């Protein structure tokens, strides 16, 4: 399988997955959420080895969550809503404690959720910026406006260095492999509302249960 087909396949996967996340009752299904993340990570890999540092942590978190989705308590991890309810009721997470389990579903999803905010800003920037804009600059700005606040200095430094290796706009949109640059921009426009929706529901759910600061 060439990296081209891998990228094409994964982008379709990402779009389809985030679209399929939200149910009629506005629940966020974990399985397609993680499938969306898998696609994003694969797309990152197709951009080059510099990004493996960025994707490694997300990958580990996705893998941990996949374990819960397949494990003994899998019915508790069908949706984010079910997970929050279960982990709060069973004491796996406690919003009033300053320390907590590093492997809870809630704190793990919270990290992915924060990264999704960055992704959303980045893709939105990419979509609306002019032809001579640089993805590396857009990526750095979106990161600084979101995820960077949760990262220590070393990680911020390393992330910013990796972003410099992002290809220029034309090549980046081409790597998405959905046709011309205009086609790619259109695909971003189609996909973003779904990602935004998933982000918004998750944010509200975590805020409601005071889980936005889980250590
Ligand atoms: C173009 C597609 C972009 C999507 C990739 C998003 C991946 C974001 C991951 C950034 C990770 C930087 C290095 C890891 C930092 C962790 O310390 C941090 N994890 C995240 C996801 O922010 C916090 O996790 P921790 O240490 O509390 O378990």
CATH number at 112 reads 1.10.3520.10
140, part of any domain? yes
pLDDT at residue 209, rounded to an integer: 97
33: domain range? 3-90+103-208
pLDDT at residue 7, rounded to an integer: 53
CA distance 88 to 65: 17
- Residue 29 pairs with which residues in a beta bridge? 79
84, part of any domain? yes
Phi and psi, residue 29, nearest 5°: -75, 130
Residue nearest ligand 1's atom 10 by CA: 54
- The complex's ipTM works out to 0.94
118, part of any domain? yes
pLDDT at residue 190, rounded to an integer: 87
From 10, 55, 56, 57, the mutation candidate for ligand 1 (largest count of ligand atoms within 8 A of CB) is: 57
Q: Torsion over CA of 113, 118, 119 and 121, rounded to 10 degrees?
A: 130
pLDDT at residue 6, rounded to an integer: 56
83 CA to centre of ligand 1 in angstroms: 21
- Any atom of ligand 1 within 6 Å of the Cβ of 123: no
48, part of any domain? yes
Residues of the chain with pLDDT under 70: 1-10, 12-13
Number of domains in the chain: 1
From 58, 102, 148, the mutation candidate for ligand 1 (largest count of ligand atoms within 8 A of CB) is: 58
């Amino acid at each position: 399988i060439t990296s081209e087909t891998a990228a094409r396949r994964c982008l379709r996967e990402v779009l389809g997955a985030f679209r399929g996340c939200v149910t009629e009752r506005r629940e966020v299904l974990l399985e397609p959420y993680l499938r969306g993340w898998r696609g994003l990570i694969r797309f990152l890999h197709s951009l080059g080895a510099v990004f493996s540092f960025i994707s490694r942590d997300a990958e580990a978190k996705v893998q941990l969550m996949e374990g819960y989705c397949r494990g003994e308590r899998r019915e508790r991890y069908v949706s984010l809503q079910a997970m929050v309810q279960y982990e709060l009721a069973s004491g796996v997470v406690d919003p009033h404690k300053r320390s907590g389990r590093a492997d809870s579903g809630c704190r793990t999803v919270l990290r992915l959720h924060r990264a999704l905010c960055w992704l959303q800003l980045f893709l939105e920037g990419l979509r609306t910026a002019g032809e001579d804009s640089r993805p590396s600059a857009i990526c750095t700005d979106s990161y600084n406006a979101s995820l960077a606040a949760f990262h220590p200095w070393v990680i911020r430094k390393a992330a910013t260095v990796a972003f410099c290796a992002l290809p220029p706009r034309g090549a980046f949109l081409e790597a998405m492999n959905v046709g011309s640059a205009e086609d790619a921009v259109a695909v971003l426009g189609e996909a973003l509302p779904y990602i935004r929706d998933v982000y918004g529901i998750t944010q509200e759910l975590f805020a409601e249960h005071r889980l936005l600061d889980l250590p």
